Structure 1
């Protein structure tokens, strides 16, 4: 039924109620219900894969990982989202209810919000709401403490999932958010979105588009080189340890790690000379020639990596070594750096 006709019928019903009450009141109620139903259809939203509509946001609880805030934030970014910004009391209430319904009441979570030494702000610069009913408080103390040593916002089991300021290196699970997508998006907007997707590669969950590659910075798991290789294979079809043989990609990885504050992590990458010292092969057993400027400097003066002889046969981008190529003991526990083919649009 068209809007104009509904307006006409509603006007008739309202005028008629002055003289006749019962039948026209019923008619008015039915018309208002039709309005509400039409608005619901027009405003119906859906969430990207892995996200669930909670309050007015699409939310994902990454409870499988317990890591620093920086690592949690990057996981949200890899899903096209951001750490969840709790801006209203209703949003907080609904997230707490969702945590309880999912059986996650023993978990601790990162949310958006940091203290810059002067004020609490979300990533987009908006102020974080303070006081009741957002922040943890007892009769003798209340948060936040406005201390740069505890400058990241969380909701934890011991705070009853009220917001609390904690050190940013605590090991918590991130709550990610994504804007809902309108099901009845106008055709021209759908076309724009399609063109934008075509311009950018579409990556699997947890993989980030970087220089035309889909890369997963697996900060939530560390292992030996062999297990890291298997871990990448388990992520998605044709996923493997990344070997960045393009020097611009190595540069982009370095910049990304600093942008996302992940520079403290060391990553396994896809090459080993375990079969024959000095002959480096990728994960497909193909011989590769690695030259400057991929290798970092050795601890021995005026020499370059690799310098581990037969004791260090696997390739890594190490944090102390500024994420140059370095040969390492294959049994060391480092994080996998995985690559996967882009998804078909």
Structure 2
């Protein structure tokens, strides 16, 4: 159906609305559900529009629609939405691994309805702690991070530098989607978006099996990893074995560890 038709069906037949994406965890849960149900050949309308106010995305009720990472599809050279005044409705695009994309509202897609007050948002890694972070660190979400902008180092040296900064320091482990969202918002708010940041993931010596420096598994797929042409990262094969946050969109991407990037350090708790 078209966006308007889908919205009407949700209201009249389901007593619901088109799904409202109100947190990173909510978005991830929907993506995971689509994969569990193997509904991988369709795209889905959700409640997001910028009709009449191009670039200002809201729900049909006028609430702000989340922008940036980890919601909208991100590529090495641009991030959605990019359709201007011709594409004014939001859908989860199966061709872009179910990241959100803007499209003509008269297109025909499947759709997701949501009952009001039926979803409890996760607060994990969102609320801040009262305990102060050590010198050189700042609290982002529930963790203490240090953005070492004065350094551009290969991955191995960046990992060592985190330890030099503090004995409990290591390259950041970003295994929760709300934490990734908190990092993205902090970088935007503090005007720190001109750096690429090393974080503590690698598949060196175990190609395709991505792990953090503590041995735990790196989460894969949407909404953590960015897109590359028609594929999803990691896309570098045996030549790109280290994980970084790209300054284009701050999704996960793989790259050679010999590149000189900024360390993003985390305090071990």
Under a length normalisation based on structure 2, what TM-score does the superposition of the two structures give? 0.51
Gaps of 5+ in 2: 1-127
In the alignment, which residue of structure 2 is the partner of 1:304?
232
Q: Provide the C-alpha distance between the structure 2 equivalents of 1:304 and 1:286, rounded to a whole number of angstroms.
A: 21
Deviations 1:65-116 (CA, angstroms, capped at 9, x unpaired):
xxxxxxxxxxxxxxxxxxxxxxxxxxxxxxxxxxxxxxxxxxxxxxxxxxxx
Deviations 1:304-341 (CA, angstroms, capped at 9, x unpaired):
11100111100000113x11000011100000000014
Q: Provide the C-alpha distance between the structure 2 equivalents of 1:260 and 1:288, rounded to a whole number of angstroms.
A: 27
Deviations 1:238-275 (CA, angstroms, capped at 9, x unpaired):
21000211111111111111111110100000010011
> Contact 1:201–1:212 at 8 Å: present in 2 too?
no
- The 1:341/1:281 distance shift into structure 2, 3 A limit, reads closer
Alignment of 1:179-194 (within 5 A): none
State which structure, 1 or 2, has the greater radius of gyration over its C-alpha atoms. 1
In the alignment, which residue of structure 1 is the partner of 2:256?
329
SS in 1 for 2:187: helix
> Contact 1:203–1:341 at 8 Å: present in 2 too?
no
Match of 2:177 among 209, 222, 247: 247
Alignment of 1:172-321 (within 5 A): 200-298=130-228, 300-301=229-230, 303-320=231-248
Alignment of 1:134-153 (within 5 A): none
Give the superposition deviation at 1:199: 5.3
Q: Provide the C-alpha distance between the structure 1 equivalents of 2:244 and 2:180, rounded to a whole number of angstroms.
A: 12
Give the superposition deviation at 1:289: 3.8
Q: Which has the higher contact order (CA 8 A, sep 6+)?
A: 2
Aligned length: 142
Deviations 1:131-171 (CA, angstroms, capped at 9, x unpaired):
xxxxxxxxxxxxxxxxxxxxxxxxxxxxxxxxxxxxxxxxx
SS in 1 for 2:146: strand
> Contact 2:200–2:213 at 8 Å: present in 1 too?
yes
Structure holding more helix per residue: 1
